[in-house]
Amino acid sequence: MNVRRRLVFRFIGQLVVVGLVLMTIAVAASLWILEELNKLESNREFQEAGLMRLIDTSVQDEKGVHFDEGLLKKVRDSGGWLQLLDDRGNVTQSYYTPADVPRKYASGEIMSYWTETMSFPYSLGLYVDEKDGVTYTLLYGRPKNKADRSLERLLRAGMKQNGDKLELPEADQEQLKKEHDWIQLLDSNGAEIASFNKPNGVPGTYKLSELVLRSRYGYRYNAELLFYYDQSKGNTWILNKPLTGTKPGETPSMFPEIRIILTGLGAIAVASLVTLVLFSFWYGHRFGSPMMHMMQWLSKLGEGVYEEPLDRQGLPRSQDRKGKQRRRYRVYKDVMGSLRRLTDTLRTNEALRSKQETIREEWIAGVTHDLKTPLSTIKGYAHMLESDSLHWTDEEIREFATIIRQKSAYMDDLINDLGLTYRLKNEASPPKRERVELNAYLADVVEQIRCYPAYDEGQVHFVPADRPVEAEIYHPWFRRILDNLIANALLHNEPQTVATVILGDLAESTYSVTIRDNGEGMDETTASLLFERYYRGTNTERRSEGTGLGMAVTRALVHALGGTIEVKTRVGEGTQIKLEFPYV
């Protein structure tokens, strides 16, 4: 998979993860909102929502049914009681049940109490539901007419109107002030006639709709409203009891439902923002850090530093201690691989350039020396011949002329070799080839080479192929290749070294010529630079005939003829140079 696809899949995958996280946050916040609304509703209307939540949160084991302690506390705080009934009307569990409440109900008895066809001192709530295959029947009761009895008791205790004030017994006054309750007396039109302990902000006139709302939805006004209608006078007594944690007379700025919803939405917004910020930092570290690393790497390459930037521990930043690529760099593994290959190539090229620069300087010094030596000789003999004070015999003059010719020929060979190497470097093609039988041709060439005065008798041998080998060659170049390879084998080894030329028929399309010697061999450095035109690998104690370009010319000629050249050597074991040519 290429970098583009990996990045696309990685980005899509991470966006999906972020989407799932945001969705989880939204779902969690929504569930919290529903839970809080249910709690709020159960606080307001325990007979409807509270009983349902009691069953939903119940747990049953071998010891019986266990209800939520917080909900049971609400039963107690509301002044109510709770009973769990079986299918026969028996009470199996009860909580805060007064002594005047039955512990067993006949089939129609509980229905009569519930529908109020029979007198019962408590207002009942009956709820039946099934959970985990078990049917639960809950009976919830609260004292009836709490408001009526509270106001009637105050009226019986002597509460009366005195102008726009209400007078109460001292004990009742202290109790009302302690609980921050207040009482208002309204006429038939809802206007206030008199009041007691009324805080600031409480209206003095009530519409019918407002009385209904305050009585039914007290949480909207932070107070529970209890009322008593005096039928004889047409007046209405109202008792207001502040809700817990609220300030008397203060109207809430918003409904609790809205507050819960806004809190949940705010939590979603904050959690989403934090998630996106964290993801942005993580994303920048995950993808930005490798990009910055690669840019720094490229910058270092431009400055000539051919290695991957390192961390504080001296390790490549994209790798761990075990040399494995770090996770955040794996998506760019193709790019990182290309950078490593580029770094290795540039480092190798720089090393090769430096090595060739050194060799070129050495070669220039050698060529300069090789040219100056014969030139000095020629110059010296020329001065000697033109001197009027010296007189030479004919034999001496011929001797001087021979030396001048030899030195001139050496210089000519050197210049020709330089020209040939550069022509071959520019892919010069061989002139017209001629077809020969290589066994006979090589035997004749080797025989001629044996006659060179520089070689001792028996130093050069030829091993023909098993069958006739015919090929088209360019004779001067082929002969030059053999001359150079045999000269390199014999002139740069001990005098007793033997060179063997072997003709081989490798396949239908190629043949080989191998020059093998039993000399000293070469080390790896010399072998790797053997065919460089700037390198002369001779020992200073060995003979240094030639121009120093012979092996470079040899390789160029082999390549120009479409062949390949391979060297196998080891110090102390001799050298083998194998040439392979295609049949043309």
What pLDDT score was predicted for residue 47? 58
Q: 162-183 pLDDT, tens per residue?
A: 888 888 888 888 888 888 888 9
Burial 527-560 (b: 16+ CB within 10 A, else e): bebbbbbbbbbeeeeeeeebbbbbbbbbbbbbeb
Query: Residue type at 472?
Result: E
Confidence of residue 542 (pLDDT cuts 50, 70, 90): very low
Tell me the CA distances in angstroms from 78 to 47, 119, 230, 554, one per residue in order. 11, 22, 27, 112
Phi, psi (rounded to 5 degrees) for 224: -90, 125
Question: What secondary structure does DSSP assign to 252-277, as a single string?
Answer: PSS-HHHHHHHHHHHHHHHHHHHHHH
CB atoms within 10 A of CB 524: 10
Average pLDDT over residues 398-419: 81
Angle between helices 475-491 and 438-450 (to 10 degrees): 50
Other Cβ atoms closer than 10 A to 438: 21
Residues making up the chain, counted from first to last: 584
Query: Left (φ > 0), alpha (ψ -120 to 50) or beta: where does 285 sit?
Result: alpha
* Residue 246 bridge partners (DSSP): none
Neighbours of 400 (CB within 10 A): 18
| Beta strand 192-196 pairing with 160-162 | unpaired
Burial class (CB in 10 A: 0-12, 13-18, 19+), 160: exposed
The sign one gets for the Cα dihedral 261, 262, 266, 269 is positive
Q: Which residue has the higher pLDDT, 316 or 506?
A: 316
Higher pLDDT, 520 or 431: 520
**What is the pLDDT at residue 541?**
40
Model pLDDT for residues 215-225, shown as the tens digit of each residue: 767 767 778 78
Decide if pLDDT at 499 tops 90.
Answer: yes
Amino acid 148: pLDDT: 44
242 Cβ contact partners less than 8 Å away, ≥ 6 residues apart: 179, 180, 181, 222, 223, 248
